[in-house]
């Protein structure tokens, strides 16, 4: 078994994830895994970094596929005996002009952004080594979507006692409410992406609390963040930040030094803790 530290970035064949891998290759003292659902896109991305003189390793990972997540889990367990850095970056967003019916957009978006991210966490968080760092890439849109929720929902999402099961029930309820065309009446904002990212931010707060309760002495730090508005296939060419700039906050959180006791369980943008 290798004692080399290991970092994994989900959805990193392009966009912000790719830039996070690039930065980690330069700054993380260990093996960095670029992962992609499509192995050829992943290998191409690794080759691109190689041309820049950087060494990333590749492992397949489709966060929508539990078997794929478990294969990565088993590989990490066997080769490294755990994991030091996990960046949950993979995500999707329908374009504004997309005509896919809203209930389908809701189901598909939550499937990857919330349920896929949660499944990765369920399988990989138990592998986190002491001083591990976990970064869940959410969005400022989670904050604006939260403000668009009913007072009752806002209270639930801001609660310091909400459980993961309760969050999952709420995320499922959103999808069901869109199918019945009652989501607005039920207090939801009209954004599937926004609700999926509320899920990611609240999940991070819950996971940080669980770490405090079950692994207090292990110094693991877990946070959610927004990368900013970044020029990628998702956000388009008008966005204000380059992918390397978008990677800055996630990389800062991934590389928090071993003597740091925070941030933990926070939502950050521009390396700054934001109120939730
Ligand atoms: P992007 O360029 O579209 O890249 C998304 C990445 O996620 C791609 O590598 C994609 O792989 C991967 N992915 C999607 N579904 C996946 C799955 N099921 N399993 C594994 N990988 C999957 O988007 P981006 O702008 O870099 O976004 C990265 C993250 O930042 C997302 O979570 C996004 O919500 C968040 N974010 C972005 C912005 C922004 O302005 N760009 C702002 C706030 C938050 P494929 O190539 O195979 O599709």
Which residues have CB under 8 Å from 265's CB, separation 6+? 204, 205, 207, 208, 209, 212, 222, 223
pLDDT band at 2 (very low <50, low <70, confident <90, very high): confident
C-alpha angle 269-273-276 in degrees, rounded to nearest 5? 95
pLDDT of residue 184: 98
Asked whether the beta carbons of 94 and 180 are under 8 A apart, the reply is no
Q: Which atom of ligand 1 is nearest to the CA of 65?
A: 18
For range 187-215, the mean pLDDT: 98
Q: Ligand 1 in contact with 64 (CB < 6 A)?
A: yes
pLDDT of residue 180: 98
DSSP-assigned beta bridge partners for residue 86: 8, 134
Q: Ligand 1 in contact with 232 (CB < 6 A)?
A: yes
Using most ligand atoms within 8 A of CB, pick from 87, 234, 241 the residue to mutate for ligand 1: 234
Mean pLDDT of the chain: 98
CATH number, domain 6-274:
3.40.50.720
For range 74-93, the mean pLDDT: 98
Active site residue 193: yes
Q: Ligand 1 in contact with 35 (CB < 6 A)?
A: no
Q: Ligand 1 in contact with 234 (CB < 6 A)?
A: yes
* Percentage of residues of the chain with pLDDT beyond 70: 100
In whole angstroms, what is the distance from residue 169 CA to residue 203 CA?
Answer: 12
- Does residue 173 carry a pLDDT above 90? yes
Q: Ligand 1 in contact with 135 (CB < 6 A)?
A: no
CA of 18 from ligand 1 middle (Å) equals: 10
- The pTM of the whole model exceeds 0.85: yes
CA of 9 from ligand 1 middle (Å) equals: 11
For range 214-220, the mean pLDDT: 96
pLDDT (tens digit per residue) in 149-166: 999 999 999 999 999 999
Which residues have CB under 8 Å from 3's CB, separation 6+? none
- Does residue 1 carry a pLDDT above 90? no
For range 126-131, the mean pLDDT: 98
Residue 33 zone, left/alpha/beta (φ > 0; ψ -120 to 50; rest): beta
Asked whether the beta carbons of 45 and 60 are under 8 A apart, the reply is no
Residue in 33, 80, 131, 193 annotated catalytic: 193
pLDDT band at 19 (very low <50, low <70, confident <90, very high): very high
* Percentage of residues of the chain with pLDDT beyond 90: 99
Q: Ligand 1 in contact with 112 (CB < 6 A)?
A: yes
CA of 145 from ligand 1 middle (Å) equals: 19
Q: Where are the domains of the chain?
A: 6-274
């Amino acid at each position: 078994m290798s004692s080399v530290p290991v970092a994994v970035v989900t959805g990193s064949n392009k966009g912000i994830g790719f830039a996070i891998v690039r930065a980690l290759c330069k700054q993380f003292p260990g093996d960095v895994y670029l992962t992609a659902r499509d192995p050829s896109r992943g290998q191409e991305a690794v080759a691109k970094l190689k041309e820049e003189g950087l060494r990333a390793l590749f492992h397949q990972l489709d966060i929508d596929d539990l078997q794929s997540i478990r294969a990565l889990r088993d590989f990490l367990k066997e080769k490294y005996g755990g994991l030091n850095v996990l960046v949950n970056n993979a995500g999707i967003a329908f374009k504004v002009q997309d005509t896919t019916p809203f209930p389908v957009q809701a189901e598909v978006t939550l499937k990857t952004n919330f349920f896929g991210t949660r499944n990765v966490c369920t399988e990989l968080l138990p592998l986190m080594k002491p001083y591990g760092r976990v970064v869940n890439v959410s969005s400022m849109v989670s904050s604006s979507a939260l403000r668009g929720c009913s007072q009752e929902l806002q209270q639930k999402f801001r609660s310091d006692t909400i459980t993961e099961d309760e969050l999952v029930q709420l995320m499922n309820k959103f999808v069901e409410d869109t199918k019945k065309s009652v989501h607005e009446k039920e207090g939801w904002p009209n954004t599937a992406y926004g609700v999926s990212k509320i899920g990611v931010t609240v999940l991070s707060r819950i996971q940080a609390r669980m770490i405090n309760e079950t692994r207090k002495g292990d110094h693991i730090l877990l946070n959610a963040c927004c990368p900013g508005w970044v020029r990628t296939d998702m956000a388009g060419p008008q966005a204000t930040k380059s992918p390397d700039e978008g990677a800055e906050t996630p990389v800062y959180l991934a590389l928090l030094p071993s003597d740091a006791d925070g941030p933990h369980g926070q939502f950050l943008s521009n390396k700054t803790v934001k109120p939730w």
